[in-house]
């Protein structure tokens, strides 16, 4: 298990750049809301902790994880000021192949939107076998994937800005 003995919320605050002046959209899947609301809370609190203004945070909801890439694209198309999009969702293994199709489509879609718009689109989607695993990764014993996604967004926006400043 990739998160065994690892807390998703653990990071070195000294290695996280300031989020001041960043404009980020969080897209949240409504499916498995118990989990995704915790992910949203973690991501939002982390962005604000590192200096992002609440007025620069846009939160949008979609029915499920499958819709996350399309919503990220809509957000980037409609707001050219956005520096990044964080996609938060939760897909739990069931008895059919649906899990595999949704996970594959979401991961590919998030990557495709990021490359198309040349902006960070962060994959903050839990793909667990059980609801208990999702609870552990959305503010439970293994931390919060939302925290991790927010730190990733901050670091990627900062990286892009540093590289563009060198041009």
Q: What is the pLDDT of residues 21-37, one digit of tens each?
A: 999 999 999 999 999 99
The whole-number pLDDT of residue 2 equals 59
Does residue 105 belong to any structural domain of this protein? yes
CATH number at residue 160: 3.40.50.960
Q: How many CB atoms lie within 10 A of CB 59?
A: 14
Q: Is residue 137 part of a domain?
A: yes
Q: Provide the domain count of the chain.
A: 1
CB atoms within 10 A of CB 23: 18
Within-domain flag for 14? no
- Quick check: is 46 in a domain? yes
% of the chain beyond a pLDDT of 90: 86
**Whole-model pTM above 0.75?**
yes
Contacts of 1 (CB under 8 A, 6+ apart): none
13 within some domain:
no
Cα dihedral 38, 125, 67, 84 sign = positive
pLDDT tens per residue, range 85-114: 999 999 999 888 888 899 999 999 999 999
Q: Which of 10, 53, 77, 98 is catalytic?
A: 98
98 catalytic? Reply is yes
């Amino acid at each position: 298990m990739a998160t065994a003995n690892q807390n998703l919320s653990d990071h070195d605050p000294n290695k996280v750049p300031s989020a001041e002046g960043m404009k980020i959209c969080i897209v949240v899947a409504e499916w498995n809301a118990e989990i995704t609301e915790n992910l949203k809370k973690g991501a939002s609190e982390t962005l604000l902790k590192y200096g992002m203004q609440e007025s620069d945070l846009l939160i949008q909801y979609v029915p499920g994880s499958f819709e996350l890439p399309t919503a990220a694209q809509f957000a980037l198309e409609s707001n050219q000021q956005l520096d990044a999009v964080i996609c938060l969702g939760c897909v739990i293994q069931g008895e059919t192949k649906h899990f595999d199709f949704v996970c594959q489509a979401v991961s590919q879609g998030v990557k495709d939107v990021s490359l198309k718009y040349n902006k960070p689109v962060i994959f903050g989607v839990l793909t667990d076998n059980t609801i208990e695993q999702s609870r552990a990764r959305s503010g439970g014993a293994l931390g919060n994937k939302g925290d991790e996604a927010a730190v990733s967004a901050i670091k990627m926006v900062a990286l892009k800005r540093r590289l563009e400043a060198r041009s």
